[in-house]
Chains A and B, each alone.
Chain A
Amino acid sequence: MTTVSTAVLLATAPAQGGGVAADLAWEDTTLVSRLGDQLRALGIDDVQVLRRPASPDLAADLAAVARIARAAPAGVLVAQADVVTQREALAALLADPRIGTGVLSSLEGVGAPFAFGQRSDRGRVVSAASPFHAAGGPTERFLGLLKVSAADTAALAAAAEELAGLVAGGVPAAWEAELERKRQDWKGEAEAPARLAAAREDAVALLATAIVRRGAHVGNADIRELFWARPLSAAAARQAAADIGGHDEERVLLDSAVKATDGFFTTFFVSPYSKYIARWAARRGLTPNQVTVASLALGALAAAAFATGHRWGLIAGALLLQVAFTTDCVDGQLARYTRTFSALGAWLDSTFDRVKEYLVFAGLGIGAARMGAPVWALAGAALTLQTVRHAFDFSFAAAEHASMDVAPQAPLAEPSDGPAARSGAAGTPVPRPAASARVLRAWRRIDRLGGAVWVKRVVVFPIGERFAVISITAALFTPRVTFIVVLAWGGVGAVYGLAGRGLRALAR
């Protein structure tokens, strides 16, 4: 179920009124034993707890994590022992094979203001804060659980040893200054003194910072609407126990089966009901791959109907294509809902989407030829435009990931990881941004206007819009009209996409 063999829980944050927060009462047990039981239920057999005063200080915690990481037979989870959350949140991090090394995090401000910020790009954490480190332009908050894949446990151990060396005999002065900055930020919060005391013991956030700065590929599992808290007092623990029941895990799981960044048509016309089909399919025991294959079969039927060249064939093809598209949304939602991701499933889903679309082009081309008005050149142009647009998407993503892999990282002794810290030239004046950078910033500001993001998502002509346009134009008009509309809208989307990427490239 999970690739993690070993969990290290840090019961080091002090509770108000003495002892550690992890030992606060929760029903007839404690926070740490509740979390340990949850992790064992998810398949982690070896759950170890580092506890004050047996592990006397931060340096000892880090040295122990290094030892455990080196001895672990598979992946390692490092977590705050006092985290109270729901099974589905833990499963999203631990049981999702797409996340090798990753963290539990919140995009919506869960844990604010005390949970440390981190910045992600293309789903990957590129900068992570700790009590003693800052992250520029944070996009989400770190929620105290760090999963490290077997491939990265050596890096985790090395990071822990490096940190242990840095904190032995007191933390560096620059780190103290950063914690003081956080103390200023938290001024006026009733919990601030307890949170500052907990921050001083926070080995988990330090390890997250360190592994990101070592260049590891760290992913995100979003907490979504699930419950999360780190109670530091008996009263806070009682409050958490009262609140956790208000978060319906089943509903969150179903809602989050819908992909977060889908197009307009998919989000508003397909996903609202396809997620219930996904749940029905899950209860029937259907697998995502079976649904994917069914969707391809429906798409092939649509293409065959288009190929008849009769009006009834064009109408039947249009309807079949919509059924095929709904089915196609169901497979991904079923995979997310049942958390049955596989490399083959992901490949089939992506590949069959393309096969379906181009089979439909072929069907429309054959249909047009049978109607006595061949449109092969237009069909070829439409296929070329779509393939080239995808090639831009793929190549741009590849170039971005390659840049992230070679991006220089600041040393751990340095609290900031801004450009000055990376080059070691602190104090260099920041140059005035180029015109392209200012245009890009204005472009992104438009994103924050209400509805603008949806206009942008419609302009780029995503798959839901493409299939809707194909169905409507083919049913009402002729294949020639379909290809002309697909080429025109796709052309606008191509120009728009190229302009945005060109700006980003110039702003570098």
Chain B
Amino acid sequence: MSALDLYRDDGPLARAFAPLGRAAPPSVLVAVAVVPVLVLAAATGADGSRGLLAAAVAWVVLLGGASRGGALERDRFRWAVPPLLRAGEYTLILWMSAAGCADGPGAGFALLLALAFRHYDLVYRLRYRGRTPPAWLGAVAGGWDGRLVAIWVLLATDALPAGLYALAAALGVLFAAESAASWRSFDAGDRPALYDEGEGEAE
């Protein structure tokens, strides 16, 4: 699996929609999926209705999932796919948490903390050890697509913000514990996959 596939952090739903996007450039599909959602979220803020949020989640999961199916190596903007998926996921989480109740965004932020750990660990583990987190961890975490649907269900059942806090705590403990445990089985033979010092911030 290539690094760009790994960084997507897809779950079962996104994988199921992959064949739909076979003919389209992945970066275009993801941009069409995510950019309107960023605009709508900024425009409506805490006033997004559950129906609108359901439509937004469905739109992003469908098109974002389909973007898995296209020919990545022929897409010259392929590097935009994982960051746009991340932007879509995090924005939808904040949007749904704000729509849930006044205390929602704090819970949304807590969940983002846990997810950010996962997403940086995907990169740093590959960069410094040439290893990827186990597939079961990605499956248990649901992928970005599964999480979005689960959070909408929490919203629709009036389970915010407690549901988000519970999800944040569960995922945070899971990600941190698995990552720490992975170092116990660290083998000095692990080799860095690529060596690129710094964050590339001064590109």
Contacts and interface: CB of A to CB of B under 8 A. Distances in A.
Interface of A: 98-100, 122-123, 151, 219, 259, 261-263, 343-344, 346-347, 350-351, 354-355, 358, 361-362, 365, 369, 374, 376-377, 379-381, 383-384, 387-399, 401-402, 406, 456-457, 460-463, 497, 500-502, 505-506, 508
B195 interface: yes
Closest 7 interchain pairs by CB?
A376-B105, A391-B83, A398-B3, A393-B200, A384-B90, A399-B79, A395-B79
A456 B77 CA distance: 23
A369 to B, nearest CB: 7
A3 to B, nearest CB: 11
A448 to B, nearest CB: 15
Contact of A365 (B2, B109, B119): B109
Given A350-B120, A380-B105, A402-B73, 19 more contacts: A98-B195, A99-B195, A343-B128, A347-B128, A358-B116, A377-B94, A380-B108, A383-B109, A383-B116, A384-B91, A387-B120, A394-B200, A395-B78, A396-B203, A397-B194, A398-B3, A401-B196, A463-B199, A497-B203
A379 B79 contact: no
16 contacts: A123-B195, A261-B197, A343-B190, A365-B109, A376-B108, A384-B94, A388-B83, A391-B82, A394-B3, A394-B7, A406-B73, A456-B202, A457-B201, A462-B199, A497-B203, A505-B77
Contacts of B98: 377
B147 interface: no
B119 A501 contact: no
Interface residues of B, number: 57
Interface in B155-203: 183, 186, 190-192, 194-203
B89 to A, nearest CB: 9
Nearest to B94: A380
Interface of B: 2-4, 7, 45-46, 73, 76-84, 86-87, 90-91, 93-94, 97-98, 105-106, 108-110, 112-113, 116-117, 119-121, 123-125, 127-129, 183, 186, 190-192, 194-203
Chain A at the B interface: SS class: helix
A463 B106 contact: no
Contacts of A358: 113, 116
B119 A391 contact: yes
Contacts of B109: 361-362, 365, 376, 379-380, 383
Given A263-B201, A263-B202, A374 B91 contact: no
Contacts of A397: 194, 196, 200
A469 B191 CA distance: 37
B54 to A, nearest CB: 21
B201 A393 contact: yes
A449 B116 CA distance: 38
B79 A462 contact: no
B201 A460 contact: yes
A2 to B, nearest CB: 14
Contacts of B7: 391, 394-395, 398
Contacts of B84: 388
Contacts of B4: 395, 398-399, 402
Given A365-B106, A391-B7, A380 B120 contact: no
A380 B113 CA distance: 9
Contacts of B45: 377
A86 B83 CA distance: 44
Contacts of A497: 203
Given A343-B186, A457-B202, A463-B199, A391 B105 contact: no
Nearest to A461: B201
A347 B106 contact: no
A369 B117 CA distance: 24
Contacts of A501: 79, 203
Max count, chain A CB within 10 A of own CB: residue among B79, B120, B186: B79
Contact of B87 (A151, A259, A388, A506): A388
Given A358-B113, A376-B106, A398-B79, A463 B87 contact: no
Contacts of A151: 191
A506 B200 contact: no
Given A354-B120, A398-B4, A219 B195 contact: yes
Nearest to A493: B201
Contact of A123 (B73, B90, B121, B196): B196
A258 to B, nearest CB: 12
B19 to A, nearest CB: 23
Contact of A395 (B73, B83, B121, B128): B83
A263 B203 CA distance: 11
Nearest to B3: A398
A417 B119 CA distance: 38
A99 B191 CA distance: 11
Contacts of B121: 351
Contacts of B78: 395, 399
A100 B194 CA distance: 11
- Residue from A99, A259, A394, A463 having most chain B Cβ neighbours under 10 A: A394
Contacts of A100: 191
Nearest to B105: A376
A362 B106 CA distance: 9
A395 B81 contact: yes
Given A395-B80, A398-B3, A402-B4, A387 B186 contact: no
A500 B109 CA distance: 30
B76 A505 contact: yes
A392 B129 contact: no
